[in-house]
Structure 1
Amino acid sequence: MAVDRIIWKMILDFVVLACVAAPLLILLLVAEPYHRGYFADDQTLMLPYKHQTISEVLLAGLGFAFIIVTVLLTEYILDKKGLGVGEKFVSGSLVPGWLWAGYSTIGIYTFGAACQQLTSNSAKYVIGRLRPHFFDVCNPIPSSSSQNAGGYIQDFTCQGTDAARLKDMRLSFPSAHSSFAMYTAVFFILYVQVKGKWRGSKLLRHAAQFLALMGAWYVGLSRVVDHMHHWSDVAVGFAVGALYAVVVFVYVLKPAKFASTVRWENPAPEIPRPVLSR
C-alpha cells in the first residue's frame, strides 16, 4: 500500500506540473499581447534591433543543468556520509536515497520555475510594453485617426514584415530571462546554504553562491545591452524571480526537514553542567 501511495504521489505531482505548464504553453502559442501606443519622440524606443546574446533555450538548458548537477551531487555526497534521507521502495524496486531526494528537489525547482515563468509571461501579454527596438522592428506609420490626438499614437501600421518580431516587440515588461536567471541563482544559494556545508573551506560555498548571483546579474545586464528590455523590466524580473525562489524553497521544499541531515561538521561537545550543592 505504501508503494502505491508513492506512485500516486508521483503521478499527482506530474499532473500539477502539467496544469501550470499548459497555460504557459497556450499563452506563448496563442495569446496576443495588448497593443500599446507610443509617443513619436520617445527615444527609449529608438534603439536598433540586435540579436540576443542568451536565447531562451540556452538559458533554460544551463539553468536546469546547473541545478540538476548541484542537487544530485550534493545528495549523493550526503548519502555516502550517512546523512541522506534513506532508501525507498518504489514498485518493489529499491531506490537510493540520494536519487529520491534529488527527484523531489528538482521536481519542486521545476514547479517553481513554471510558476514564475507563467507569472512573468502573463504580465507581458497584459501590459504589452514596447521593447527598446520598437521603431527599428515596426517602422510605424500613424493613421489620421482621432485616437492619435495629443501626440500619443494608438492607431498605426507596422511596415515590418517579420510576424514573430512584431509580436515579440510588445513583450518587454517584465524580463522573463532575468526572472528565471534570478530564480535559479537564489534557489541555488538557499539550497547550498542549507545542505552544502564542507569543513575544507569556509569560503568555497560562498564563492559558488556569489558566482551564481553574478551569472544571473550578467543575464539581466545582457538584456539591456541587447536592446531587448528597459532597465525597469530587468529590475522587476529580478524581483519576481527572487521572490518565487524564496517562497518555493521555504514553503514548498521546506528546508526545516533537512535540519537533522545537514551537519557535515562534527557537533560541538556538550559541556557538563556542574552539580549544584544543596
Structure 2
Amino acid sequence: MSLRLPYKEQSISEVLLGCLGFALIIVTVIATEIVRDRQGKGIGEKFLSGSLIPGWIWESYTTIGIFTFGAACQQLTSNIAKYVIGRLRPHFFAVCAPQPRITPAPAYIQDYECTSGKSEAMLKDMRLSFPSAHSSFAMYCAIFFILYIQVKGKWRGSKLLRHGVQYAALMGAWYVGLSRVVEHMHHWSDVGVGFLIGAAYAALVFVFVLKPKKYGLPTAWDQPAPQSALPRPALAR
C-alpha cells in the first residue's frame, strides 16, 4: 500500500537545490572572510606562483573547494546506495501501472511489465527512492553552514542573531526533507537516512578536512576584556 500514492511534480528540483546550497555557502564564506580580513583577523596575504594574493581570497577558495569536495562525496554515497538497493518510490503504481495487476494479497511479484507509457527516465527514477539525495545535500549544506558560522562568524552583536540564522538554515533543510515525503517522492525512512548521510559528511569534512583549528588562537576580539587593576593603596609612613 505504501507504493500506491499518486504521482506529484516535485517543487524543488535538483538544479534549484544545488544552486541554492552553493549560493548560500559561497556568499557566506566570501562575506565572512572579507569582514574578518578588514578586522585584522585574517591570515594575511599569501604568495602563489610569484603573485601576491589577498588572504580572504585564499581562505574563500580553500573553504569553498573543501565544501565542494564534501558535497561530491555525500552525493556519490547517496547515488551508490540508490542504484544498489533500488527501492521503489511511493508513486510506483502511478508511474509504472504494472501488469499483471498486483492484488492486495501479500506477495512478492518480480515478473511484471510497466504499461503506463512513461519515459524511460521516469521508469528508471521510480527505483531510486533510498536514500533521499535531496535531503542528504540539504542537510550537508545546513550543517556545514552552521559549523562555519559558529567558528568564524563571531561579532560583538547579539549572539541570538547568529543562532537564529543557524536555525533558519536547519529548518530549510528540514523543509526540503518534508517536501520529499509530502510530494510522494520518498518514504520517511529514505529522508531520515539522507539527513544522517548529509550531517555526517558535513561534520567529518569540516572537522578533519577543513580543520577549523588552523585559524589560530582567539584574538583579542573574541577574548573577554581584561579587568582593570585596582590602584595600590599608598603605604602608611
Alignment deviations for residues 28-50 of structure 1 (CA, whole Å, 9 cap, x no partner) = xxxxxxxxxxxxxxx11001111
Pair 1:254-2:187 in alignment: no
Q: 1:71 aligns with which of 14, 29, 43?
A: 29
Structure-2 change in CA distance of 1:126 and 1:62 (3 Å): same
* Matched residue, 1:106: 64
The TM-score normalised by the length of structure 1 is 0.78
Amino acid at match of 2:193: V
* Matched residue, 2:112: 156
SS in 1 for 2:42: coil
Q: 2:133 aligns with which of 165, 176, 188?
A: 176
Q: Is the 8 A contact 1:120 1:174 kept in 2?
A: yes
Structure-2 change in CA distance of 1:155 and 1:72 (3 Å): same
CA shift for structure 1 position 200:
1.3
Alignment deviations for residues 123-147 of structure 1 (CA, whole Å, 9 cap, x no partner) = 000000000000000000139xxxx
Structure-2 change in CA distance of 1:133 and 1:262 (3 Å): farther
Amino acid at match of 1:242: A
Q: Distance in 2 between matches of 1:110 and 1:263?
A: 32
Alignment deviations for residues 90-116 of structure 1 (CA, whole Å, 9 cap, x no partner) = 222221100100000000000000000
* Matched residue, 2:82: 124
Q: 2:175 aligns with which of 204, 218, 221?
A: 218
Amino acid at match of 2:99: I
SS in 1 for 2:68: helix
Q: Distance in 1 between matches of 2:128 and 2:219?
A: 42
CA shift for structure 1 position 248:
0.4
Q: Distance in 1 between matches of 2:172 and 2:216?
A: 29
Q: Which runs of 4+ in 1 moved over 4 A?
A: none
SS in 2 for 1:153: coil
CA shift for structure 1 position 157:
0.4
SS in 2 for 1:89: strand
Q: Distance in 1 between matches of 2:154 and 2:62?
A: 20
Which aligned pairs between 1:80-99 and structure 2 lie closer than 5 A? 80-99=38-57
Alignment deviations for residues 166-192 of structure 1 (CA, whole Å, 9 cap, x no partner) = 000000000000000000000000000
CA shift for structure 1 position 56:
0.2
Q: Is the 8 A contact 1:49 1:133 kept in 2?
A: yes
Q: Distance in 2 between matches of 1:217 and 1:262?
A: 35
Tell me the number of residue pairs that the alignment of Structure 1 and Structure 2 aligns: 225
Tell me, which stretches of 5 or more residues in structure 1 are unaligned?
Answer: 1-42, 144-149, 273-278
Mean Cα deviation higher: 85-94 or 60-69 = 85-94
Structure-2 change in CA distance of 1:115 and 1:197 (3 Å): same
* Matched residue, 1:54: 12
Structure-2 change in CA distance of 1:261 and 1:127 (3 Å): same
Pick the structure with more helix per residue: 1
* Matched residue, 2:143: 186
CA shift for structure 1 position 263:
5.9
Q: Is the 8 A contact 1:160 1:166 kept in 2?
A: no
The TM-score normalised by the length of structure 2 is 0.91
Q: 2:202 aligns with which of 227, 245, 259?
A: 245
* Matched residue, 1:9: none
Of all paired residues, the percent bearing the same amino acid is 71
- RMSD over aligned Cα atoms: 1.8
Tell me, which stretches of 5 or more residues in structure 2 are unaligned?
Answer: 230-237
